[in-house]
Chains A and B, each alone.
Chain A
């Protein structure tokens, strides 16, 4: 692509820059840019009248004075890209401020064009011809939502690429120039709609309850609305597993395909509906202008621990699943604050932890205490996250100065094109990761739990089966065979070897194996313990809050209550159950999350850090619970 002309796209957040990029470059490779969030340059190709333009989207900057390390990187690139043409996207509704940016960019002496957006929203009529004449550079009016004027912008760029006319050194005063080229018109319809909405949405008393209600509504959709789709994926996975199970003869290949591959992929795909809905809501809230209001309402609380209002949505999202939560941090413009948010997001109790809580609370706590224990698990995650963020922001992630200087944009109808692109990009990122990281992890765990495979066990059970009749008895034999195979597998050999590490937390070897098996995805603990406590197959997808007393989890619960150690003492008690739950609340057991952190921080260091701090913290807390309980005499 030696013939491509480089075009740098410069503009503030909310200026309509992302929409301009997307309309200009129809076949964008990376169509989504979240202004201000990434050092990574987003590039996309545009073809106008036979000329190829390489459009480089620079994170939303309001000036050429870098405030953060990221802006520094971006601005150095801009200063050194001598061949680049520049588009400055300027919001007509605050022309005087935008002209300050235009003036700075003109100072660079690059051929440039000004794209004037939101002309229809401006409280004043902007005389494009007069502005163009005064600036001495082309000014194009574009409608970022509809895409009108983009063709004119493209032609202006092609003309500039040919002539390479450089702007004269700017001498104008932005304020005076803005006044010269605008005529105030009396209607301010949209602004006043925004004012009316904000009177309610940002109300001193009502503002926070409305935000809370909105979040509850979104969660309702995430958990209830996504459920039919999740059930469908789950059913599809089981049907496919059964079909493949019939098609392939029993043995290693069948087990690999069904238990390893199909289960591995399925356990990940099942989260797609939740991720879809969450990203859709996050994207809609951002595009409509409400997200900035949510940040405004909650900034005070989050600033206490070194975060800001912008961290709110990613953290709330993480209660459903940390993966979309981490993707949602792209909206945070300060890189250190963004990383701090990413690092604590996995501590929010996600929906995959719920099955563990549900089974253990049901087995070892009276119904009257169930709600309180469940709440305590969620609270634990929040408190630890607050402390972790607080410590990080004062040490490794100390910013120069935590600030919030955020425009509260006029409310507007979201551009569906931008929303779909953001949702699509998040889903694509998740699926690509699921296809690589998670599947490989699932396959490794499968192999460790399947091998070695001595035929002696199988022959012994075949002999027993020959002497047995009745569905139930045969089923029990099958389960016992599975348990015996698992009991001598590499995974359980490792589990028994590692068990001393978890002994201070009260875990027996079976729980230790369950913990090890659930490092790729924490919900794997349920089927693993189901097999280990010789129950056979327990479906991890069938638990939710509503089934806290449902009978389908009764089997595993009863087994846990009855389970004995080799010396005949009870293997479980409420203290151990609490210790295991605390471990799961804090531990980093999710390959998908670590993959998302790796992708979003573009480093191996941060996922490694998250894995280590969470796992160590989980171990320490579990040991503290068990030893504390023992000292208080609660384990007897």
Chain B
């Protein structure tokens, strides 16, 4: 298991859980980071942060800080 921010560009993983139970965690849940969801790291911004992800048919930018909260099953 690893965290979302550690995916390599172009690879994807499946969400296992979200760390914590605060507003950020709930917002990540609202955005569709549910267990089993496939998330691809599309690209990092030129300065390394934030990161663009693809999930559930749409694209989302998250800062590393938030991406770290999403635990994923590492790509095989």
Contact = CB atoms under 8 A, between A and B. Distances in A.
Given A62-B27, A175-B34, A297 B46 contact: yes
Interface string A166-198: 000000000100000000000000000010001
A419 to B, nearest CB: 23
A406 B65 CA distance: 14
A125 interface: no
A207 B52 contact: no
B63 A407 contact: no
A296 interface: yes
Interface residues of A, number: 43
Contacts of B30: 62-63, 65, 97, 100-101
Contact of A97 (B44, B56, B66): B56
A208 B28 CA distance: 28
A262 interface: no
A407 B59 contact: yes
B75 interface: no
A194 B43 CA distance: 14
A449 to B, nearest CB: 51
B50 A404 contact: yes
A406 B60 contact: yes
A408 B61 CA distance: 7
Contacts of A297: 45-47
A301 interface: yes
A94 B58 contact: yes
B59 A408 contact: yes
Given A67-B27, A405-B66, A296 B58 contact: no
Nearest to B43: A202
Contact of B63 (A66, A292, A299): A299
A303 interface: yes
A65 B29 CA distance: 11
Contacts of A93: 57-58
Contacts of A198: 43
Contacts of B27: 62-63, 65, 67, 403, 405
A165 B66 CA distance: 40
B19 interface: no
Contacts of A249: none
Contacts of B58: 91, 93-94, 97, 407, 409
B26 interface: yes
A401 B66 CA distance: 10
Contact of A404 (B26, B46, B62): B62
B61 A296 contact: yes
Contact of A207 (B34, B46, B50, B57): B46
Interface centre among A63, A100, A297, A408 (most CB of B within 10 A): A408
A299 B49 contact: yes
Given A62-B27, A94-B32, A100-B32, A299 B45 contact: yes
Interface in A370-402: 400-401
A122 interface: yes
Nearest to A67: B23
A567 B56 CA distance: 78
Contacts of B1: none
B10 interface: no
Contact of B47 (A91, A203, A301): A301
Interface string A495-528: 0000000000000000000000000000000000
Contacts of B37: 175
A204 B57 CA distance: 23
B60 A300 contact: no
A403 B61 contact: no
B62 A296 contact: no
Contact of A403 (B24, B43, B48, B57): B24
Interface in A189-228: 194, 198, 202-205, 207-208
Contacts of B48: 300
A124 B57 CA distance: 9
A290 to B, nearest CB: 13
A292 B61 contact: yes
A123 interface: yes
B59 to A, nearest CB: 4
20 contacts: A65-B26, A65-B27, A67-B23, A94-B56, A95-B57, A97-B32, A100-B29, A100-B32, A204-B44, A207-B46, A295-B61, A296-B45, A299-B49, A303-B49, A403-B65, A403-B66, A404-B50, A405-B27, A406-B61, A408-B59
Interface of A: 62-63, 65-67, 91, 93-97, 100-101, 122-124, 175, 194, 198, 202-205, 207-208, 292, 295-297, 299-301, 303, 309, 400-401, 403-409
Q: Which 9 A-B residue pairs are closest in the complex by CB-CB distance?
A: A63-B30, A97-B32, A300-B47, A408-B59, A94-B58, A65-B26, A406-B61, A62-B30, A67-B23
